[in-house]
Amino acid sequence: MAPASFQLIAALVLRETSIVYEPRKEYLVEARLHPLAAQAGCADIDAYVRLVTSDPAERRKAVDALTINETSWFRDNAPYQAFTDTMLPELLDRRADRRHLSIWSAACSSGQEAYSIAMLLDQHLPAGWTADILATDVSTAMLARVEAGRYSQVEMNRGLPATHLVKYFTRVGAEFEIVPTLRRMVRTRHLNLAERFPAVGQYDVVLLRNVLIYFDQPTKHSILRRMHEHVTPGGYLLLGSSETTLDLPPDLNAMWEREQIGRVQAHRPAGGGAVPRPAAPPLSAALTGARP
Amino acid sequence: MTQSPMTQSPMTQRALIIDDSKAMRSILRRIVAGLGFETAEAAHGREALDHLEAATATGRVPHLCLIDWNMPVMDGYTFITEVRRRPEWRHVTLMMVTTESEQGQIVRALAAGAHEYVIKPFTPDAIVEKLELLGLVGKGVLA
């Protein structure tokens, strides 16, 4: 597709959804718009982009196609690297008395986020430590998928290092099933973020990624306000990469401190006594299992 | 063997696509060319080894090989084994792209020296994410 077409589409998606399409993602834009272009009888993607600029209904379809929430393992990588290299060493220090970590994957979808964290904990949690992961979603169908822990071949390809596929899954017919040790680490619960949270407790790390974008501004603020009491002092709240630039009202700004960890911006409860981090050797080399 | 008509720059990464299916080579070529790779193709492992030999002579060894498992003349597994016998090719990233989905086969490929493994069928995003993981595009975990 022509660079001008890509820029136009990227700007449109950014304006309507806050989702960023980086320049090297041209191919993905093309792949996702191609069926729509064919359906609309356009000769090529550039012609379709011209149609999108003049036809609001087609614009809606294009934006929907480009914002399909496809879940990957270790989605975006950077948050998982920040978890392993920075958050985990600090939390191991802070929680040394109880030797237990609690993680909450809010809006867990089909469970790739929760199980990706479970894999990292399996690799990096010292002996004698335990961890539990709460996975919540508004969709009971999604929760059933997390509980089943079964994934199709196509899903297995999405960002999961081959070494992890071999180590953490067993083949069941045409699907792959998560091993019981990781399955036991994850519990599920139905939860609608827009409503009052039931008694879900406190978590050392809350992953609330790529979900706030679907709510209007007052609901976003309400969720961030209510989330505050569910993050332990010194704990972390992780939002999606396009969600960290949210303009917050003064009371929320006072509630959360922002901390830059590599390419990730974490939110931490204000006054949580974040300690200066020791320079720890990076643990993420083992993350991918990829050899240099 | 065909060479893509892309303009060559000294910074461009090179990918060799090895698959006996012309349609599959075309799909993979579009994806990696879209990511800025200069591409070449081979229809089986022997042809790919010949390409590597020739490329070594001109100092243009590919950075990445995408390798089908089941091919005539020489299969992908044998190709990987042959590549890993040659120290001068140790920097080549090897990724299997195959319908072979048994875990035993994946273990075999990794043990022979493959870095990553994609099971057919795949979505374009899957290839992109694996290359990100390997640090070959974008800012992967190893970047």
One domain, residues A58 and A186: no
Domains detected in chain B: 14-133 (3.40.50.2300)
Joined together, the tokens standing for residue A292 give 């240099």
User: Is the entire prediction scored with pTM above 0.80?
Assistant: no
One domain, residues A159 and A281: yes
Domain boundary among A38, A66, A94: A66
For B30-84, the pLDDT digits (tens) are 999 988 899 999 999 999 999 999 999 999 999 999 999 999 999 999 999 999 9
Among A135, A76, A106, A92, which Cα is nearest to A262's? A76
Chain A residues within an 8 Å CB radius of B32: none
One domain, residues A176 and A151: yes
Cβ-defined contact of A288 to B141 (cutoff 8 Å): yes
One domain, residues A115 and A142: yes
One domain, residues A134 and A48: no
Joined together, the tokens standing for residue A281 give 């050797």
Does A43 reside within a domain?
A: yes
- Residue range B81-102: mean pLDDT, rounded: 95
Rounded CA-CA distance A275/B55 in Å is 53
- The bridge status of strand A150-151 relative to strand A169-172 is unpaired
Domain at A143, CATH number: 3.40.50.150
Tally of helices (H runs) and strands (E runs) in chain A: 13, 10
The single-letter code of the amino acid at A178 is: I
Please report the pLDDT score of residue A70 as a whole number: 65
Joined together, the tokens standing for residue A200 give 């879900």
Alpha helices in chain A (DSSP H): 3-17, 26-39, 45-54, 56-66, 78-82, 88-94, 112-124, 140-148, 153-156, 162-168, 180-185, 217-227, 250-255
- A7 reaches B (C-beta below 8 A): no
Domain boundary among A35, A66, A97: A66
One domain, residues A87 and A191: yes
Joined together, the tokens standing for residue B14 give 């090179």
ipTM score of the complex? Answer: 0.81
User: In this structure, are residues A190 and A140 in contact, taking their beta carbons and an 8 Å threshold?
Assistant: yes
Q: What is the mean pLDDT of chain A?
A: 86
Structurally, chain A folds into a number of domains equal to: 2
One domain, residues A272 and A209: yes
Joined together, the tokens standing for residue B69 give 């498992």
Please report the pLDDT score of residue A67 as a whole number: 67
Ranges in chain A, pLDDT < 50: 275-292
CA distance A238 to chain B (A): 17
Domain that holds residue A12: 3-66
One domain, residues A220 and A149: yes
Residues from B contacting A (CB-CB < 8 Å) are 30-31, 34-36, 101-103, 106-107, 109-110, 114-119, 121-126, 128-130, 132-135, 137-142
On the question of pLDDT at B140 being above 50, the answer is no
Domain at A37, CATH number: 1.10.155.10
For B1-39, the pLDDT digits (tens) are 545 444 444 468 999 999 999 999 999 999 999 888 999
One domain, residues A93 and A217: yes
One domain, residues A15 and A122: no
- The bridge status of strand A186-190 relative to strand A130-137 is parallel
Please report the pLDDT score of residue A31 as a whole number: 77
Does A217 reside within a domain?
A: yes
DSSP code per residue over A104-121: EEES-TTSHHHHHHHHHH
Please report the pLDDT score of residue A18 as a whole number: 59
Joined together, the tokens standing for residue A99 give 């030797």
Residue of B nearest to A289 (CA): B115
Among B98, B67, B72, which Cα is nearest to B83's? B67
